[in-house]
Amino acid sequence: MMLVPALFALTSSLAQAALPMPAELSDFAGEASGWLLAGERLPPDYRVRLLQMEPAARLQAIVYLRRIGLLTDPSWGLDDVLKPVPPAQEIRE
């Protein structure tokens, strides 16, 4: 009976390992894990930082933040998640 859940866990972990994580997402996830372990909240500029990511990486980052418990408010609409990355000039302003 315990064999089925073990196989499922192994299969899902192998599937996740097969998918490469974009570097910007990996860096952000590492920072977010540090915030969580330090007992900190999301920094005030987290939204701006996520909007600088490609939409696919942004969605993965939002899911990650929700899964680890740092992002609890429903502040991300579909338009925000799918918004293209603004040019560098717009980000600075």
pLDDT by residue (tens digit) across 16-75? 555 677 788 899 999 999 999 999 999 999 999 999 999 999 999 999 999 999 999 878
Q: CB atoms < 10 A from the CB of 59, how many? A: 17
Domain that holds residue 80: 22-92
Q: Is the pTM of this model over 0.75?
A: no
In a domain, 75, yes or no: yes
In a domain, 16, yes or no: no
Structure tokens at 79: 């338009």
In a domain, 13, yes or no: no
For residues 24 and 12, which has the higher predicted lDDT (pLDDT)? 24
Total domains present in the chain: 1
Give the model's pLDDT for residue 93.
45
In a domain, 29, yes or no: yes
Q: Of 33, 32, 36, give the one whose Cα is nearest residue 49.
A: 32
In a domain, 15, yes or no: no
Give the model's pLDDT for residue 64.
95
Per the CB < 8 A criterion, the answer to whether 58 and 50 are in contact is yes
